[in-house]
Structure 1
């Protein structure tokens, strides 16, 4: 999850609009995550696909540490040979670095920029030939390097960033940083995004970038104003929707081709899959079931499967059955001359006669009454006949039993005909003929006539079995053919299924991304205008100060269009009449416009940088605008450290003439690229110079002269004390606002002097004693004269007071800020 310390209110404005929108919660999250960055957006998009809620960035109020420049040190870089340091007072204030062209002044500006950013706007679009001249030839054996020293509010000691070069390519360098006394990777300072968003550097080449094509002007302002977040969010949403939509279209096209192939296949699996895929809402679960083969075969496949399951009668078994039936029938036939039933009846009758004889007293025949017929002879003959008749009956029973067994053995062969014979037959099989032949064969072996059954078993079984086997083989071959045809379809279907599932699962995500994209597109212009408005208002105010005698008036600044149609709309009027900005504004006016747009952005409270570095803003400005520029810079210097490099003497002249507070450094380049820096017009020096001038003015009466001189001398001492307090307290890590607050509360010369001497404004009663002890009693007299002379006070010599004030000021400025206070 990303955390931002501020984004010019854009996140808050976006969040408010989202809360008031009719977007789904998922779409709202997508807009916010797209605003925060690639990582957050990917997390939100993945979460939407998998049903998770991703964390997105939040804006957490933070006290952004204020960072000021304290020094820029350059060695062997551009116009500077031996090492030279430009010392700067950390804190709000205006610093002018003045020198003629070629003096090396701009080398300090370029050095500060390249040290912190690794590049330089002045070189960015230059040819390699121009860029190769960055090494100074007079550096001796020193390694080319640039270093900036910075003071971070609330941190003791200095922060340093240095960049060094070993080779000839200016873009290939080593960079290191030092913070809290420890050397570390530069990236650990966390300034990369802020340097891009708030960019505290403005070169002359960037001032000129407002010229040229409308898109160049748009890009320059867009970069300076840091309005990339909305465009980046739009692009992320557009790319995401395009990607999701392309996947859907690719899947749909693939599915359409696959559906046609499935419908053309004569396979029930293909037809079931086609039916599942072809509806308004494809049933992918059915497709998965088809691929797994979990459903029993249906349709033609089921019929073919049944054909393959046909079991033909076994010719060998049929032949054995025929032999058994023939033997049994023959046995019965051999007995066909006797009557087994008659034999059984005779046996019964004779057995009764024997039984009668055994119980009767008379030997007369019970049937014909013939006397004496049932005698021993009769009995022997009858017993013999009974044995013969019994054998004949038993043989007949065995023969008939064998015949019945032979017939029963035919039952497994004469099964009911499979129902599949009535279905569509496999290719090249006459199903009706097979059905008729199998039916006839079955009927023949089921007949009561053994000869007919035996003939069918012996003569027709083999042919029938061959027909059945051929039909089964044909069905198997057709199933294999269909499987061979189905396999590539199944493989295509298997590959398509997960893609189709993904597309199906992403349908709501796709809809949410589309609605998020369309919504943000509709809001982008308003968000852009809202973000630009406070900056544009400040820019218009700066322009009003810079325009001076110009007849060009600047209204709202708007960024219009996107991509190839992007442009800047400037509401410009000339003498009250509407005009085209680029057509009526001079180069100096366009440079002033660039500055007017740069300062509000670079000075936003969200930026950690409380300094701005501006190189040559005066070029092409007419004299009337230079005064306005001086006032604008002085106004910016009330809250920020403003460092301006210029070769034009008009700017320092305007600062002096308008009596604007500023530190001015003069840069002189000697032989062999030795660059010297001389500070002029330090506040102490300026006040004392003014005091000397008044003291030597003979036309001014003594009373007025003393009051004015005393006032200037008092201001000089106060400036010296302020310098001591700032160096001490900022150096130990006090916040700049706290330091300035302490100075504001020290409302008397005595209080501010106590703050300088003892770091305690409440020890004013010890000031004179300290002066007297360290410098002599005259120092206390100077303090008293400066403190009370503006109201009359004791008599003093004006010239003498100025010189002694100089000594006291020198004493104060020489105080070691790191030394312990007494």
Structure 2
């Protein structure tokens, strides 16, 4: 099963084991799968089921470093090759500063990762100076890797002669001699960031210079929890959308409050009341209605009255008054005519008939002489019928007048019902116009003149009310729109409050699981770091406790508890020396490079000895011996103390020496035992034909003396180290021995006070002319040497062989 699928399954199992709510678990797993899945689940869709990954058929490749070839890159001019044995073991590449040994280390790193911490966060000149000034023509780096299966992979980066941009290299990858398509890499390639097999001096400096988060980021990839970090980032991004919306809503809430407070408008007062003091408690439905133009307070009554004035016109009372006047004129015209008199008589007779119908026969109530009886009734009814026919015109005119009068009085009442409430509502806003209408209304009768006066006053009020409404609408338009926008945003925030709570819980639960998984996975690496520190610390009084990765986001950090002489301290930086910090950096980063999950079975370490005291160098040799049992370890160093410690401690290692000659010609050769190297140099000088004889003798004597002293010093260090002598005492004794005799005495007896016994000891060794040779190389320091070079070399070789 792939690492990602394994991690996904572990995450799901841990969430369910912790009894996390199913909705939260689903959301966390959706975030693990990606942004699209997270968005879909938040929309209510089901969580997709990931297809089960096929189980791996093998444990993955084991990649070793076989060679690096560089041309025209940094300190390397003509083509230079470093060939290695691709398998577990220790290789030390030594060379003085400026010998281009670091250029070889950088060549490996850049070819495989296209970067180097040596250039990171430094001026551009560190990157721009990659082209060797002594080389013209094409430039190239080729790194050959060997897989445990026997297959080879060559990564090649090349630049044409005129190319100055480091990133413009042509990259090719060949597997077992077959060039892969451009952009294709072997399936195992790529995890350099997670299991970066390179430890540069820059890496080790991070312990001193890096910020807590940077140090965390340099170590955390080893845990393989990057997909969880990505899932958390997705949840955080979604949650931030909500948080930003809430933050913006609160800011707009405060701004809206301030804006409404400056308005002299009852609606603003009502909106302020409905908003309340907290955005989360605002009354959104009422605010939405108000934002849409609803009225509020006393002003609302006036606005309503003004709208009624605009919506309802006056009755056509003028036409009614005209018709009433015509009806009255018609009645006046009939007054005094026989028809009018007959109409009155018919009314009188009709009244008498009504009395007889209700009361029966009786004396006439008018004259008190006649009798209202049945006979009278019959005659009266005949007369009434005649009179009605004769008075039809009068009756019609009178009916028309009565109808017009009722109609006019009704319309006048309607006018009063419309106008009187409007006057009360608008009197504060439009006092002048309302007063004019009120006067006209009080004088209004059923005549044309009063009606015309009223219509004129009403028109003035109507126009003023319309203008007031327009001003009122314009004044509220922007505040109302702002209020409406805020209500819309608040409605969205309110509707998605549950989603925000779910995201918050999901992040918290994922964080809890991540903390536990991180602690469980880092425990192995932390134990390795503590073990390495125990080997490196040697005589240090600084102890390191359980190292932990802590915090999240911007607070992420590496927790390094330390103690000094058993007393706890809070900060490693406060108590460790520069050398201790570099040693601790090695302890911290080496487990990352040597993780069992890494396909890289090699680790390249550049300049690890910086600022280390001799005891730490011995500890480093022991660490390298241990790591080299299962890993291919390639160490680049300018410090001779590491090769010396390796030889003295009997650490099995392949030691190479890098030299750089004029024109950036770099050579890599086998680094011999120092005495043997000095002797080879002495032989080379002895047979040289272009050196004067006297000078040749002095030069050979110098090489022979160095061979003797190196042998004696190595012997003294080894014996004292085995006896448990503190390193500083060993160094002090060696520094106090200035002559070749003093150093031979230390190497032979371990006691500088026994120098008088040295020559006797040398005579007993059976080495021909041993004492003569020692004396000869000692005199050569003062420019005197009479001993033949061939004899001197032969005697020195025999002597150092016996002293080893």
Shorter chain as denominator, the TM-score bin is 0.5 to 0.7
Residue of structure 2 in register with 1:607 after alignment: 598
Is the 8 Å Cα contact of residues 291 and 481 (structure 2) preserved in structure 1?
Answer: no
Residue of structure 2 in register with 1:699 after alignment: none
Taking the TM superposition and a 5 Å limit, the aligned residue runs for 1:574-613 are 574=565, 585=576, 587-613=578-604
Over aligned residues, Cα RMSD in angstroms?
5.1
Pair 1:340-2:342 in alignment = yes
- 1:74 deviates by 0.8
Pair 1:635-2:607 in alignment = no
Pair 1:139-2:135 in alignment = yes
Q: Relative to 1, partners in 2 of residues 1:343 and 1:301: Cα closer, same or farther, differing over 3 Å?
A: closer
Q: C-alpha deviations, 1:629-663, integer Å up to 9, x for none? A: 34433432343332222345555566567666655
Is the 8 Å Cα contact of residues 93 and 639 (structure 1) preserved in structure 2?
Answer: yes
Other structure's SS at 2:630 match: coil
Range 177-186 or range 457-466, more displaced: 177-186
- 1:544 deviates by 2.8
- 1:110 deviates by 0.7
Residue of structure 2 in register with 1:687 after alignment: none
Residue of structure 2 in register with 1:173 after alignment: 168
Taking the TM superposition and a 5 Å limit, the aligned residue runs for 1:97-246 are 97-124=93-120, 126-128=122-124, 132-141=128-137, 143-151=138-146, 158-162=153-157, 164=159, 172-178=167-173, 181-184=178-181, 186=183, 194-211=191-208, 219-220=214-215, 223-226=218-221, 244-246=242-244
Partners of 2:19 and 2:475 lie apart in 1 by 51
Partners of 2:128 and 2:435 lie apart in 1 by 97
Other structure's SS at 2:323 match: helix
Residue of structure 1 in register with 2:330 after alignment: 328
Q: Relative to 1, partners in 2 of residues 1:544 and 1:265: Cα closer, same or farther, differing over 3 Å?
A: closer
Partners of 2:65 and 2:487 lie apart in 1 by 62
Residue of structure 2 in register with 1:700 after alignment: none
Taking the TM superposition and a 5 Å limit, the aligned residue runs for 1:15-164 are 18-19=15-16, 40=34, 44=38, 46=39, 50-51=43-44, 64-124=60-120, 126-128=122-124, 132-141=128-137, 143-151=138-146, 158-162=153-157, 164=159
Partners of 2:514 and 2:449 lie apart in 1 by 94
- How many correspondences in the alignment? 616
Partners of 2:153 and 2:511 lie apart in 1 by 46
- 1:538 deviates by 0.6
Partners of 1:33 and 1:542 lie apart in 2 by 40
Residue of structure 1 in register with 2:494 after alignment: 504
Partner of residue 462 from structure 1, selected from 452, 456, 462? 452
Partners of 1:165 and 1:284 lie apart in 2 by 69
Other structure's SS at 1:460 match: helix
Pair 1:490-2:480 in alignment = yes
Residue of structure 1 in register with 2:253 after alignment: 255
Is the 8 Å Cα contact of residues 128 and 166 (structure 2) preserved in structure 1?
Answer: no
Q: Relative to 1, partners in 2 of residues 1:557 and 1:342: Cα closer, same or farther, differing over 3 Å?
A: closer
- 1:81 deviates by 1.2
Partners of 1:516 and 1:82 lie apart in 2 by 59
Q: Relative to 1, partners in 2 of residues 1:499 and 1:581: Cα closer, same or farther, differing over 3 Å?
A: closer
Pair 1:479-2:469 in alignment = yes
Q: Which blocks of at least 5 consecutive residues in structure 1 are unaligned?
A: 346-388, 445-455, 682-822
Q: C-alpha deviations, 1:131-150, integer Å up to 9, x for none? A: 55432233232x23323233
Other structure's SS at 1:158 match: strand
Residue of structure 2 in register with 1:405 after alignment: 400
Other structure's SS at 2:115 match: coil
Q: Relative to 1, partners in 2 of residues 1:474 and 1:400: Cα closer, same or farther, differing over 3 Å?
A: farther
Is the 8 Å Cα contact of residues 76 and 135 (structure 1) preserved in structure 2?
Answer: yes
Pair 1:645-2:645 in alignment = no
Q: C-alpha deviations, 1:576-632, integer Å up to 9, x for none? A: 566785566554443332222222111213333232111233455455555543443
- 1:158 deviates by 2.2
Residue of structure 1 in register with 2:781 after alignment: none
Partners of 1:657 and 1:59 lie apart in 2 by 55
TM-score for both structures, normalised by structure 1? 0.61
Is the 8 Å Cα contact of residues 441 and 454 (structure 2) preserved in structure 1?
Answer: yes
Q: C-alpha deviations, 1:184-213, integer Å up to 9, x for none? A: 55586688973223221112343344346x
Q: C-alpha deviations, 1:437-487, integer Å up to 9, x for none? A: 65885xx6xxxxxxxxxxx23332212333344444444333323322332
Partners of 2:545 and 2:10 lie apart in 1 by 24
Is the 8 Å Cα contact of residues 339 and 391 (structure 2) preserved in structure 1?
Answer: no
Q: C-alpha deviations, 1:300-330, integer Å up to 9, x for none? A: 5433332334432436514531442233122
Range 154-163 or range 48-57, more displaced: 48-57
Q: Relative to 1, partners in 2 of residues 1:276 and 1:193: Cα closer, same or farther, differing over 3 Å?
A: farther
Taking the TM superposition and a 5 Å limit, the aligned residue runs for 1:768-779 are none
Partners of 2:291 and 2:171 lie apart in 1 by 62
Is the 8 Å Cα contact of residues 268 and 299 (structure 1) preserved in structure 2?
Answer: no
Q: C-alpha deviations, 1:749-799, integer Å up to 9, x for none? A: xxxxxxxxxxxxxxxxxxxxxxxxxxxxxxxxxxxxxxxxxxxxxxxxxxx
Q: Which blocks of at least 5 consecutive residues in structure 2 are unaligned?
A: 348-383, 673-804
Residue of structure 2 in register with 1:357 after alignment: none
Partners of 1:552 and 1:165 lie apart in 2 by 52
- 1:18 deviates by 4.9
- 1:14 deviates by 6.9
Q: C-alpha deviations, 1:35-61, integer Å up to 9, x for none? A: x6xx946964x5676455777999978
Partners of 2:262 and 2:612 lie apart in 1 by 80
- 1:410 deviates by 4.7
Is the 8 Å Cα contact of residues 417 and 439 (structure 1) preserved in structure 2?
Answer: no
Q: Relative to 1, partners in 2 of residues 1:646 and 1:258: Cα closer, same or farther, differing over 3 Å?
A: closer
Partners of 1:624 and 1:76 lie apart in 2 by 38
- 1:270 deviates by 6.8
Is the 8 Å Cα contact of residues 64 and 606 (structure 1) preserved in structure 2?
Answer: no
Partners of 1:561 and 1:468 lie apart in 2 by 77
Partners of 1:162 and 1:660 lie apart in 2 by 35
Q: Relative to 1, partners in 2 of residues 1:168 and 1:417: Cα closer, same or farther, differing over 3 Å?
A: same
Taking the TM superposition and a 5 Å limit, the aligned residue runs for 1:444-455 are none
